[in-house]
A and B are shown apart, each in its own frame.
Chain A
Amino acid sequence: MEYWDGMKAIAPELWLTGFALLALLVDLLTKGRNSRTVGYVTLAGLGVTALALMGQSERVTAFGMVEVDAFGRFFKLFTLAALAVVCVFVMSDRRERQHGIGEYYFLLLGAAVGIFFMVSTNNLLLLVLGLELLSLASYSLAGFHKGNKASAEAALKYVIFGGLSAGVMIFGISLLYGLTGTIDLAEMATLGGEGLPRGLVSQLAASPIPVGIAVTMVLAGFAYKISAVPFHFWTPDVYQGAPTPVTTFLAVASKAAGFGALLRFLGVMFVRGDVQGLVADYGGQVGLLIAVLAAITMTVGNVSALGQSSLKRLLAFSSVAHAGYLLMGVATMNNEGFSAALYYMAAYYFMNLGAFGVVLYFEGVNGNDHIDSLKGLGRKAPLVSIVMVAFLVSLTGLPPTMGYYGKFLLFTAAIDNGMTWLAVIAGLNSAISLFYYFRIAKALFLEEPSDESVPRTQPIFTGMLTAFGVCTVLFGLYVSPIMQWVVSSMDLLG
């Protein structure tokens, strides 16, 4: 039966939705007395969903909308892994109460459902729906501490910027629909000739200007999600104001989802083997636009990070800069660049989750996230501090870490595709980033502690951070497992 086949294909999404409702129900039944229970339900749900995902192998289209393929699976597993870590962060957050916060987990799972649909559809309508589901959950999460002024302000800024970008994006999509007569990306790119749906080819032959306007508008929505310049203004305030686990979620899972959807949008529309010549040529021009965007994004991100005194704000600008590096891979508009972006995403997972975890740990110790208050912590909390240095080295892109190999792949992809100027700008930017990343290391190790207090230990949390640090270095030296996963996931363009 057709419908049951479809339901089987979207089983991971159904499991996730089911567990989200279960989390809410458990929270209601236990009357919010112990929210850790809800946290364990969430972790169980993530595990079950991961199992359901790994059971899928064939490539199908469910309900004519949901594409089940290895590319989507990469981002879905990425999301699950990131969310599991965020859940542990919430449970280890010393500044967070551990009862009456069941909604925290429910909203995280709801956001995950949005991400799942967002990264696995060629249908622009479902893409917008997934994006909005993710956004709505993120808005509530950013303002989770209702009484905290910074948190409320962050949520409001996030809503206003998000609403604006989503509006621009939906307008762009409506233009694309009006021009081509279809909301399916694959149809848009492959169909030709007269009559509806008439496809992109005849539209480009008539005039490329409306297509350019529409595509640029859609890109605005993605640029907001991945916090690329000029849609990055919300990033520092929201990252700083939101609770640190939520910041981690926004910086890793939400950004990866934006990149997943962007890669699919560009890949299916302009790059795939079956698109017609005129459309593929136009794709090259879109790539150039993205290359310029990448150069501006990484420069603005790195230069703004230089003067920051708050650790979360610094990492916010650093994540803007990393969006620029990742866009470098997107701009090449071919398999090599897209694979490099995927690998860098995996590197980004380890080093950014780790860095935010360390920030969470130091917040628990100091009560704030100022770089000045890190003075001398290298002596008081040596393990976490050493691990932090590993993350910083990786974020800068120095060997022997994942960040280095990821950047190597991105630079190679850019140079191979005639964008040497972009690689040069990225190289200069990495040199700038060295300065602000090592201000943190300097505060940790080269300055005297201001008092003699010894921070309380959190064995599980510290152990997890150490594991991340080890992975960052290990997978930087031994790249083949992750590289193989990336290569087998790039079935998008085939």
Chain B
Amino acid sequence: MHFDYFNVLVFAAVGFVFVIANMLIGAIIRPARKQQEGLEVYECGEPTIGDAWINFDVRYYTVALVYLVFAVEIAFLFPWALVMQGALKGEGHAAGVGYFALVEGFLFIAILFLGLAYVWAKGDLSWTAEYQGEDYHPQNPSEGRAAVPSLAELQAAESESTEEHAAESESDEEAA
């Protein structure tokens, strides 16, 4: 009776073998050309520009999060609108809910709107958001400074990276 699940085992085994076999066959039959071009990142045949490990602008994530507000809204409001008529007439799946459904739908929109208002008030809707950290006066002065180095500090760090690192960590320890 335990062998009812034998086919699951077979399925998993075939999955593993498939991957390993393909990698093996590839390793055996592909030509080995160890040139610089072959080792680079493949970008649709174009020559690559810079490194793939770069810092993306944080605003992309902000926009993605704001988008989420509307995505959730749409995902919920479509089914809500579909059963609305039935709810008000008292028939179908939503029978007996009545005006409660109408009120709750608007309550839902209001709550999501608060999310939008929050983003708006915090200045994340303007594409060139101002830096809002200036009035941050932590009682432990080292904390705030470590977060946002000034431009001069960054340039200095770039020019003499190794020495600067040693000096910085020392000063951090002192502050702590």
Which A residues are closer than 8 A to B by beta carbons? 2-4, 21, 24-25, 28, 31, 94-95, 97, 99-100, 145-149, 206-207, 209-210, 367-368
Contacts and interface: CB of A to CB of B under 8 A. Distances in A.
B100 A207 contact: no
B164 interface: no
A149 B143 CA distance: 10
A21 B4 contact: no
Interface string B101-142: 000000000010010011001000000000000011111100
B54 interface: no
A145 B176 contact: no
A473 B137 CA distance: 40
Q: Which 10 A-B pairs have the closest CB atoms?
A: A147-B147, A28-B121, A3-B100, A207-B1, A95-B140, A97-B138, A21-B114, A94-B139, A95-B139, A209-B2
B16 interface: no
Contacts of A97: 136-139
7 contacts: A4-B100, A28-B121, A97-B138, A97-B139, A100-B136, A146-B147, A207-B5
Given A28-B117, A95-B138, A368-B176, A148 B96 contact: no
A148 B97 CA distance: 49
A2 B147 CA distance: 53
Contacts, number: 49
B72 interface: no
Interface residues of B, number: 24
A24 B2 contact: no
Given A147-B143, A209-B5, 18 more contacts: A4-B100, A21-B114, A25-B114, A28-B117, A28-B118, A94-B139, A95-B139, A95-B143, A97-B137, A97-B139, A100-B135, A146-B147, A147-B146, A148-B143, A148-B147, A207-B1, A207-B4, A207-B5
Interface of B: 1-2, 4-5, 96-97, 100, 111, 114, 117-118, 121, 135-140, 143-144, 146-148, 176
B contact patch SS: helix
A434 to B, nearest CB: 31
B150 to A, nearest CB: 14
Contacts of B97: 3
B143 A2 contact: no
Contacts of A148: 143, 146-147
A15 to B, nearest CB: 15
Nearest to A27: B118
B26 to A, nearest CB: 30
A368 B143 CA distance: 12
A149 B136 CA distance: 17
Contacts of A368: 176
B111 A21 contact: yes
B118 A367 contact: no
Contact of B144 (A4, A28, A147, A206): A147
A317 to B, nearest CB: 23
Contacts of B121: 28, 31
A25 B121 CA distance: 11
A367 B176 contact: yes
A25 B96 CA distance: 33
Contacts of B111: 21
A3 B103 CA distance: 13
Contacts of B137: 97
A206 B117 CA distance: 55
Nearest to B138: A97
Nearest to A207: B1
Contacts of B96: 2-3
Contacts of A95: 138-140, 143
Contacts of A4: 100
A24 B122 CA distance: 12
Nearest to B117: A28
A368 B173 CA distance: 11
B149 to A, nearest CB: 10
B15 to A, nearest CB: 16
A148 B137 CA distance: 14
A115 to B, nearest CB: 19
Q: Most A CB atoms within 10 A — which of B96, B118, B176? A: B118
Given A2-B96, A94-B139, A368-B176, A24 B118 contact: yes
Given A28-B117, A28-B121, A97-B138, A207 B2 contact: yes
A20 to B, nearest CB: 10
A370 B175 CA distance: 15
B148 to A, nearest CB: 7
A309 to B, nearest CB: 14
Nearest to B121: A28
A27 to B, nearest CB: 9
A217 to B, nearest CB: 15
A209 B4 CA distance: 10
Nearest to A94: B139
A108 to B, nearest CB: 16
A50 B144 CA distance: 37
B9 to A, nearest CB: 12
B120 to A, nearest CB: 9
A25 B136 CA distance: 21
A28 B121 CA distance: 7
B5 A147 contact: no
Contacts of B118: 24, 28
A99 B137 CA distance: 10
A41 B121 CA distance: 20
Contacts of A94: 139
A366 B18 CA distance: 59
Nearest to B96: A2
Contacts of A209: 2, 5
Contacts of B144: 147
Contacts of A100: 135-136
A208 B163 CA distance: 63
A145 B114 contact: no
A363 to B, nearest CB: 10
Given A25-B114, A28-B118, A210-B5, A145 B143 contact: yes
